Structure formats: C-alpha cells, structure tokens
Amino acid sequence: MSRRVVITGIGIIASNGIGKEKFWDSLKNGRSGIKTISSFDASTYPCHIAGEVTDFDPMDYIPPQTAKRIDRFAQFGLAATKMAIDDSRLDLENEDRSRVGVILGTSVGALAIGERQHSIFLEKGYKRINPFFATSIIPSSCATQIMIEYKINGLTQTITTACASSTSAVGEAFEYIKNGKADIVITGGSETPITPFAIATFANVNLLSKRNGDPSTAYRPFSRDRDGIVFGEGAGIIILEELEHAKKRKAKIYSKILGYGATSDAYHVMAPLPDASQASKAIRIALEEAGITPEEVDYINVHGSGTIINDKAETLIIKDVFGKHSYKLAVSATKSMTGHAMGGCGALEIVASILMLENQFLHPTINLEVPDPECDLDYIPNRGYKRNVNIILKTSFGFGGYNSAVILRKFEG
C-alpha cells in the first residue's frame, strides 16, 4: 500500500517568533532571535550568546499542573502541538485514535532539568530531588506528554539522531502514513540545549562562535568569516495526514511530502565523511522515492551549521547531487536567524520550508557579507526574494554521521 501524505497543520516556537505569523515575519525580514543569554550567567564562557526563546509562558498553552511537572523542552513540544492541532482544525474526538501517532525527534532532551536536579542532589541530598524527575528526564517525555494529553493510541516514538533527529522523525512519520499504518501523525521535534553544561561542552571543543559583541550578526553560515555554531532552542510540530483523509474532513492542506532518505556515514563521532558520499546518497534516495529528477528541485533548506568544515562539505554535497543545476538552485540557512536548535532544528526548518511554499517567498541567509569562495552557490545573502517555488529539499546532518533528507511539494489540489 502506498498513500499520499500531506501537511495540514503547523506549530512553531523559535527564538525569532512564537506562532507561524511571527515566525514567518521574522524569516521574511531577516530578523535574528540571537541575543545575550539571559537564563544563566554565561559571561565567563567563550560564547555567551544564543537563540533563546524569551517570551514563552507555558501557562498560555498547557494546564498549570502539567507545566510545573515537565521540562522546558516538553513544554515547548506540548505548546507547539496545541498550535498545530488548532491550525489543522483537527477534532480528535471524531478520529480513531488507534490510527493517530506521535513521532518526535530530540537530541539532548530534558538536559536542563537534569542539570538542575543534579545540583540539588549534590547540595541538598537525594530527598530533595523532584519526584517527577524520573519521568521528565527521559528523552521520550515530550512525546509521552503529547500522547497522554491527546489520548493517542497509535504508535508513539522518539527518534534521536543528533542534529538530524526531527528531520528523521518527519521522514519516518511520512513513511508510516504512506505504508498504511496511520492516518494522522503528530511529528516534528523539540529541543532546549541552552544550558551551562551544554554551552561549556561545545565551547571546550571550539565549536561555538565567539562573536559576543553583536549577537544578531554572530551566526554566519557559508560566510568566509564564520567562526562556529550559535545555539538555539525551540519546537516545530507538523500534522501529517493521508491525503484522502484530509480531503474528507475538508482540511487546509499546506503541502505534500514526496520522499525521504536517510543514511549513515559509519566514519567518525563528529567529522563528516570526507567524500560526503552517504549524505549525497540520502538525498538521492529521497529524490527516487519522490519520483523526481534533481533538476525539478527549486530550493534547498540546508543544514547550514556555520562551521568551517561542514559548510564546505554541504556545498560539495549539493554539487555532487545536482551538478550544473546547483547554480540554478536557491539555497538558504534558517539557523542564521534562529540559532542551532540541535535535534529540534530540522523541525523548525521544515516549518520554515512549508511557509516558503505557502508564500512563494524564499527567506535569506543573514550575515552573509563575505562569501566563502568554496561556498559559491546562491545562498540568498541577507535579503529574501519572491520566487515561484514548487519543490523544496530539506537536509539535516548530525554528529555521528546521521544524514536525513525530506522533499516537500506545493499542494495544488
């Protein structure tokens, strides 16, 4: 059985906008959400900036008793799920909940609550540990909360493939519906990695930007003067639905998902495979499943991590797969505005891609003032533009050699 899969709802929490309207306005206008970290004193760290979400009140979306018991990343996921379900006008009371699933991606999960509770344990002893810590620390706790809140009886699953996690989750959700195992899947991801321990860890391996003076201009994917990652946080939730099911309930349809590819480098815990062959293969698998040629792709929403090695590698991957068409493609990096939300980044960027298809406008890669001669594609520097866009490729690559690619198409009835 092979069924068509569409997107009928989106929810988004990002450093540069909560809700699809604010998020899109920021993307369209090249507005960064990166600022000096306010959740803890990071002034002694080499990097003390991040894409923090500073205007989020969980009580606006979640019952107070639940909000107090769960980690911030689960709060984000629950809140974005409410947005997505409301956006899709999905009435789960009318659905067979055994045909509804939840597939989410995260990398570090509830790291923040883990750090806090560990400090309490060391300072005050085991009896002072939060009794809900045992269930909050589990990486699947966000998906669990969504499953319980909405009484989902189908598959609930959490995928952890480092920075590719939520793109992998969306791809697996697509396959699950396509193969007839569900009619609806709540998918995407959530991540809140802006913690003292995480910042220290990445600073110690020299992966973080040190441009602390002007935070909004610090993250510079594909620029010759880029100097590393700037952390971000957030959640992107997407309602995937079988096409005929969506039509039957007269749902608004944003776009289709056509294909998904995933491979593993089997090479190194941090560095990408030098010839990038497995990353290229993931894209080719997605293209083959979608039934399209490379020349039919109009735009790529790239991983764009902003490191010296990875940005060059990603440019080579595009040239390997797309050949001469690489120079006709438009390409941009959402992270330049949101920060790097680790396992949640792919979900934020898929939501960005959905909105670009809907608005027929491609957002820029900001802070790209000095192009790297080895990154010589159209990375849409600093100002977005209108363009007829039919097919978008979204790529994500994670530490350990995880490669994921998803292909979206504008819905035309």
Residue 313 — φ and ψ, nearest 5°? -60, -40
Q: In angstroms, rounded to a whole number, what is the distance separating the alpha carbons of residues 341 and 162?
A: 11
List the Cα angle 398/318/176 in 5-degree steps: 55
List the Cα angle 103/109/111 in 5-degree steps: 170
Q: Please answer whether residues 16 and 219 qualify as being in contact, where contact means their C-beta atoms are separated by less than 8 angstroms.
A: no
Using alpha carbons, select from 355, 343, 410, 412 the residue that is nearest to residue 87.
355
Q: In angstroms, rounded to a whole number, what is the distance separating the alpha carbons of residues 51 and 342?
A: 12
Q: Please answer whether residues 153 and 83 qualify as being in contact, where contact means their C-beta atoms are separated by less than 8 angstroms.
A: no
* Relative orientation angle of helices 345-359 and 165-178, to the nearest 10 degrees: 60
Q: Is 142 a catalytic residue?
A: no
Q: In angstroms, rounded to a whole number, what is the distance separating the alpha carbons of residues 293 and 295?
A: 5
Which of 47, 142, 163, 375 is labelled catalytic? 163
Catalytic residues: 163
